[in-house]
A and B are shown apart, each in its own frame.
Chain A
Amino acid sequence: MPVKITPKTVNTDFIKKLEELSGQNIHLCMQCGTCSASCPMSENMEFTPRKVMHLAQFGLEEGLEDVNTCKVCASCHSCTVRCPRGIDIARVMEALRQMILRKNINFVEPSKIPAETIKELPPIALIAGFRKLTS
């Protein structure tokens, strides 16, 4: 999908908010792709973490809301510990997640999960899952 970037498409408020929430300077990213290579989930992501960082640098909020990257992220910090620029990418993912969740959107609906699944899953999975994936 070709993306046209003009001064108009660059949402600087979004960049600012993302940086505030994550506490990271996303412009430090040099697009080396170490994060994507380290990410155990990247095969299942529509955009890899590197690509997400790129879009974020251009303030493409809408593009980022539509891809599943932050919803699939497992907060494993594999990217964070390897980034040569010292960016805590797991925090950037969290910020992206929070920006969506805070609009009162859930990625999973606790009351729609089948009873059998809830019974089978250990509390540790449900607690962590609801924290990361519900608003």
Chain B
Amino acid sequence: MAEKSSKQAPRVATGDRAILPEGASTIPVYVMGKKYEVPESLTIMKAMEFVGFKFIRGAGCRGGICGACPTVYRKAGDYKIYFGLACQTVVEPDMFLAQIPFYPANRAKFDMETIEPTAEAIHALYPELFRCVACNSCTKACPMDVDVLGYISAMKQGNIAKAAEISFDCIQCGLCASRCMGELPQYHIGQLARRVYARYIQPKADHLRKRVEEINSGKYDKMLEDLVAMSKEELEKHYTEREREPDLASPGEWKPQDTQYL
């Protein structure tokens, strides 16, 4: 897969978006055991592309939010395993790298429309939850610093709200599941907790309900029709001249000049 790497880094990197800064020095990294010289400022993902790997899967947003690029590495002489997102973590000298784009983890079948919003229903879908031994390996693996053991504990205690809250930052990368002694698919359990919470438990936002009613009652139909009827030029003019809430305005303070649509 990999192209031969040259000792001397070329002036312009060939990997996707990997532009080598002028005069950048290179460092050795090991990808799946093979040594490569890469520019020191690159992320793991760019470094791998730089040396010729091509991400067909295992890369998505490149912004640290889609969870497609989980990566695991060790540093020479250090027993610890490190985890990160390849698109976010910057390479270090003598890093031993491997990508774990996917780790098998069972996702239970359920129907959001008919599921009982109880902890028992979640327990019945994921009985392996009760095999957790609280080793905390999952938390140590999480590149998003989610307290994975925390949300698993909450779910074991039957507290869906707490599980949903603690797991909120999870990006479904699956690294937790790759480390689990109890063979749990933690992130699927957390996701189900969040879904059940959002759908059935979290209090419904009143302003949202009102707005939906307004939309259904046709309050905004006229506005939309006006917009649709506009020419491209008119639209552009509206867009560039639009009023904008200042970034630091405290909530509820700012009002547009033109209040006809409020």
Contacts and interface: CB of A to CB of B under 8 A. Distances in A.
Interface stretch (B39-47, B68-76, B93-101, B126-134): B126-134
Contacts of A110: 127-128, 130-131
A124 to B, nearest CB: 9
Contacts of A130: 127-128, 130-131
Contact of B120 (A111, A113, A119, A131): A119
Interface range, A side: 10 to 19
A119 B130 contact: no
Interface range, B side: 10 to 19
B124 A115 contact: yes
B195 to A, nearest CB: 18
Contacts of A131: 131, 133
Contacts of B58: none
Interface string A110-135: 11010110110001001101110010
B127 A113 contact: yes
A126 B124 CA distance: 11
A123 B156 contact: yes
A96 B157 CA distance: 31
B118 to A, nearest CB: 8
A110 B106 CA distance: 13
B186 to A, nearest CB: 15
Contact of B121 (A113, A119, A126, A129): A119
A134 B127 CA distance: 12
Nearest to B123: A118
27 contacts: A110-B127, A110-B128, A110-B130, A111-B127, A115-B125, A116-B124, A118-B120, A118-B123, A118-B124, A119-B120, A119-B121, A123-B123, A123-B130, A123-B156, A123-B157, A123-B158, A126-B123, A126-B127, A126-B130, A127-B130, A127-B156, A129-B130, A130-B128, A130-B130, A130-B131, A131-B133, A134-B131
Interface of B: 120-121, 123-125, 127-128, 130-131, 133, 156-158
Interface of A: 110-111, 113, 115-116, 118-119, 123, 126-127, 129-131, 134
Cβ-closest 10 pairs across A and B: A115-B124, A126-B130, A119-B120, A110-B127, A118-B124, A127-B130, A130-B131, A118-B127, A119-B124, A130-B130
